[in-house]
Amino acid sequence: MQIEIDAEPFVYRMPTEHTALMLIDMQRDFLEPDGFGASLGNDVSLLRPAVDACARLLALFRAQGMPIFHTREAHRPDLGDCPPAKRLRGNPSLRIGDEGPMGRILIAGEEGTEIVSECYPQPGETVIDKPGKGAFYKTDLAAHLERLGITHLVVGGVTTEVCVQTTLREANDRGYECLLVEEATDSYFPEFKQATLAMIRAQGAIVGWTASFMAVEDGMKSSTRI
Ligand code: TIU
């Protein structure tokens, strides 16, 4: 079934059997105090609104039985997949791999690397650990999407201009039709969020579409009434 979502810069036509929800990096390390985001000097409370919206998106897609992907920015314990250029850049209070209050920063299996409880994956949902900002880089995401026949991605997560935008651009280059849900993404820099939303949908959806949560909900609920 094809549904229509009132999106910008124009309507987003979503074939439900070829669409997946993808939530990017809704991890404690970015969303809670004492994690990686805070170690970089950020106010993590700025990302809280996205948690609620992502949880509501999850409920919507789960109710329809549609495929759901979660990503985590997570490195191997030996840091073999973390280039020194990434680990050593800047002057964070804790670097990737350092022991923090929630375990080793951004290391697979550690508490801080886990997805927050509100958005925690359920059985049957796919979790992709990625060493980069983009979810396609050095992951098997593309193979999963191809196997399921996915052509359309509805996206939320953090942070808007870093991992979310990188993933949207990677997906766009691979031919996916992407919709970013406005309330379901946040940045440590609110002006960067707004700029990213604007640049994604500019030039006739040069990277993709944006829509409010309500527009997505209205579109999906209208489909269930048909
Ligand atoms: N620092 C920042 O804004 N983001 C990241 O480091 N990773 C993600 O966006 N997931």
Residue 90 has pLDDT above 60, yes or no: yes
Ligand 1: distance of its center to the CA of 188 in Å? 9
46-87: pLDDT as tens digits: 999 999 999 999 999 999 999 999 999 999 999 999 999 999
Residue 8 has pLDDT above 80, yes or no: yes
The whole-number pLDDT of residue 222 equals 85
164-183: pLDDT as tens digits: 999 999 999 999 999 999 99
The whole-number pLDDT of residue 224 equals 62
Q: Is 135 in the pocket of ligand 1 (CB under 6 A)?
A: no
Report the b/e string of 191-222 with b at 16+ CB within 10 A.
Answer: ebbeebbeebbeeebebbbbbbbebbbbbbee
Residue 118 has pLDDT above 50, yes or no: yes
The Cα angle at residue 132 between residues 135 and 55, in degrees rounded to 5:
50
pTM tops 0.85, yes or no: yes
Ligand 1: distance of its center to the CA of 225 in Å? 39
Q: What is the mean pLDDT of the chain?
A: 97
* pLDDT: which is higher, 190 or 224: 190
Which is catalytic among the residues 82, 129, 130, 178? Answer: 130
- Compute the average pLDDT of residues 118-129: 98
Residue 133 has pLDDT above 50, yes or no: yes
10-48: pLDDT as tens digits: 999 999 999 999 999 999 999 999 999 999 999 999 999
The whole-number pLDDT of residue 226 equals 45
Q: Is 40 in the pocket of ligand 1 (CB under 6 A)?
A: yes
